Amino acid sequence: MAMIAGWLISCFAGITQTPTSQPGYQHFKIDKVDVTALSDGTVPVSANQLLHAKEQAGVSELLGEAYLTDPVEVSINAYLIRNGNKLILIDAGAGALFGPTHGGKLISNLEAAGFSPDQVTDILITHIHLDHSGGLSLNGIRQFPNAMVHVNAKEIAFWKEHQTPQATESRGITDNRPAFEALKPYQDAGKVVLFANNTILFDGIRTKEVVGHTPGHTVFVLQSEKEKLVFWGDLIHIEAVQFHRPEIDNEFDVDKEKAAAQRQTSYEEASAKGYLVAADHISFPGIGRVKKDGAGYRWLPLAYSLLSRTR
């Protein structure tokens, strides 16, 4: 009996340790515009280390209430918009920068969804961090050979200043330098376009700066007829904690106070207006709405639909 029990345990242990293949794309429509959520995979994140709660105990309690244990398996999402003759990718995942086990699934999921990397015409980057721009290149080779990459000019200015490592720099800068290097092949090929705040990049798509997490952190607003979707980038990392406690900031926020204020304002606006949000680290596909709930907020995931419905 003990032997069988031991065998079962090792079997289950084997099963839980084997990475499972999961569907990594989901289509939906924002009125006339087709959008596809794409998974770059997941990465284990210690919420207690990442989040800077003034009362740290709150983090574990909130995880427990959501039946989660630390480290949390955090999604890395990207999004594809088909807009006329443009195929626009929002963020590019981590590529190889989180190692062989985590992330790096964006291209296989893009292909599974029916597209190839060379069809992507434009890539909009919310900010230059490993899990958002890291997937642009692999060993100095552009992974999206025909795409123009659009980045906030403030992000590029910041990284030009921090191109050379300094002894006094923060971990956020040291750790994310390869994310800037992943842009280089596009810069060398003349394929980087800089944008400013409130710029209309394409029909129905504009930029909105939400500076705090990084110096040029930008969300993208897609409006088609009456429906609106805002791509949040890194406004939130751990949904089980930060919807209840928007004031809890993050190890990698360049300006922690500003980042928390941006999160609070963004929740408030999304909740008041009822528009859809797509967030890179909310559980895949990371699409839903936000609702005010007492002193905090609640996440309402988009209902699964074979008809690409959003309502």
The contact set with Zn ion (CB under 5 A) reads 131, 234
Q: How far apart (Å, rounded) are the C-alpha atoms in residues 182 and 192?
A: 12
CB of 219 to Zn ion, least distance (A): 13
Q: Which is nearer to Zn ion, 83 or 214 (CB)?
A: 214
CB of 283 to Zn ion, least distance (A): 14
Q: How far apart (Å, rounded) are the C-alpha atoms in residues 253 and 260?
A: 9
CB of 129 to Zn ion, least distance (A): 5
What letter would DSSP give residue 21? P
Q: Which is nearer to Zn ion, 98 or 297 (CB)?
A: 98
CB of 27 to Zn ion, least distance (A): 23
Judge contact between 185 and 141, C-beta under 8 A: yes
Phi/psi for 5 (5° steps) reads: -60, -45
Task: Determine how many CB atoms are found less than 10 A away from the CB of residue 61.
Answer: 12
Q: Which is nearer to Zn ion, 109 or 224 (CB)?
A: 109
CB of 2 to Zn ion, least distance (A): 45
Judge contact between 116 and 151, C-beta under 8 A: no
Q: Which is nearer to Zn ion, 234 or 249 (CB)?
A: 234
C-alpha angle with apex 130: 86 to 81, nearest 5 degrees? Answer: 20
Q: Which is nearer to Zn ion, 75 or 310 (CB)?
A: 75
